[in-house]
Every structure is written in structure tokens, then in C-alpha cells.
Amino acid sequence: MHPATGLIIALAALLVALLGGLVYRRRTGRFAPAQHIHDETPADTRAVDATSTAAGRVDRALFESLGVASGTPLTLLQFSSVFCGPCRATRVLCADVAARIPGVRHVDVDAETHLDAVRVLDVWRTPTVLLIDAEGRVRTRASGAPTRSQLIAAVATALPGAALPQTDPAALPRTDPAALPRTEPAA
């Protein structure tokens, strides 16, 4: 084998890893439509039971069992796990945004204790944040830790006319996480 062959293989592997990392970084935390939750096919056909209707639409009882209050204009439903570092940052961010924007509520759920909901709602990783409107529809979702500007933009889209804070994080006062309302994972 020629000595340059090993170098070429190493550079190709590095390029593939770099491209994969860039794609992963670009996709993580971005909000995307949640159409697959409300379409005619359940996310997991084995999960069609008391938590979802036969048409694959999410039943309000599922959301209520997770702590989502019906009639709340917008709920940030976060699925977390105990040992997830980005989940803690997302919890603080979602609680802060909910405290600053009227009509927005944050609910943090432990994914490991709600596996049926995880299957029905097609949650594949933590943190996952679902934005649920007053009618109980999932308007959008993010897998991974969203940024403040991504979250505020998604809230603005889902809740038109809301009094939104500035999206520039440098212009916002620092919020002490200890001063935020506690949102313990639902058991």
C-alpha cells in the first residue's frame, strides 16, 4: 500500500465526520412541523390504545395525564431524562420564556416514566419540546436543545399577537435559574 493512500483515507474519514457533525448541529434544536403526529397513521401502530384514537390523532387525555392544562393558549411540553445535560439548559430556557410571555406554560415530563406517551408522540431523543395549542394540537416540535431565538420564533408563530420579549439574548437581563418557578418532571 502506498503511504499516501493512508493519508487520503484519513482525510476522507475526517471530511465525512465533519460533514456529519455539521448536519447534526444544523438539525438539533430546530423546530419543525409536527404533522406526523396528527396524520392518519399513528407514530407507532402498537401504541394505538387508550392514549390515541383509531385515526392516530393524539387524545386530549394523554396530554392531560402529562400535566398539559386544556385551554392554555400555548404549552411548552418538554420530554427530558435524568442524566441529560441539554435537558437542564432547555428546562431553564423554557421556564424563562413561559415566565416572560403571557399565555405560555411550561411542563417538563420524564420520558422514562411515560414511555407510552413517548411512543405516541414519536419522541426519539431528549430533550424534545412540543408546542401544544389550546385545542390540544402539536403545532411544532424540536428535538435537541433549541436556542432562545428559535424558541421565541416558534412561540411567535404558534401564538400570534403574543407580547414577545426581545430575541437578542444580550439585550435580555440574566435570569437566575434559582429564581424561576420550579417545573419538576411529572411522575
**Residue 122, C-beta contacts closer than 8 angstroms, at least 6 positions apart:** 36, 37, 43, 44
- Per-residue model confidence (pLDDT) at position 177: 55
Q: Does residue 174 lie in a domain region?
A: yes
Coil, helix or strand at residue 52: strand
- Per-residue model confidence (pLDDT) at position 24: 67
Look-up of cell digits 465526520: 17
Q: Does residue 140 lie in a domain region?
A: yes
Q: Does residue 123 lie in a domain region?
A: yes
174 lies in which domain range? 30-179
- Give CA torsion, residues 18, 20, 25, 26, to 10 deg: 110
Residue by residue, pLDDT tens for the chain (187 residues) are 777 888 888 888 888 888 877 776 666 666 666 655 544 444 444 343 444 443 345 778 888 888 888 888 999 999 999 888 899 999 999 999 999 999 999 999 998 999 999 998 888 888 999 999 888 888 889 888 999 999 999 999 888 876 666 655 555 555 555 555 555 555 5
Q: Does residue 184 lie in a domain region?
A: no
- Per-residue model confidence (pLDDT) at position 108: 93
User: And the C-alpha cell for 85?
Assistant: 445535560
CATH of the domain at 94: 3.40.30.10
Q: What is the pTM of this model?
A: 0.66
Domain count, the chain: 1
Could you write out the DSSP letters of every residue in 21-48?
HHHHHHHTT-EEE-HHHHSSS-SSGGG-
- Per-residue model confidence (pLDDT) at position 90: 93
- Per-residue model confidence (pLDDT) at position 180: 56
Q: Does residue 11 lie in a domain region?
A: no
Report which residue type is found at 127: P
- Per-residue model confidence (pLDDT) at position 12: 82
Q: Does residue 24 lie in a domain region?
A: no
- Per-residue model confidence (pLDDT) at position 175: 54
Task: Find the angle CA(115)-CA(48)-CA(128) to the nearest 5 degrees.
Answer: 40
- Per-residue model confidence (pLDDT) at position 29: 62
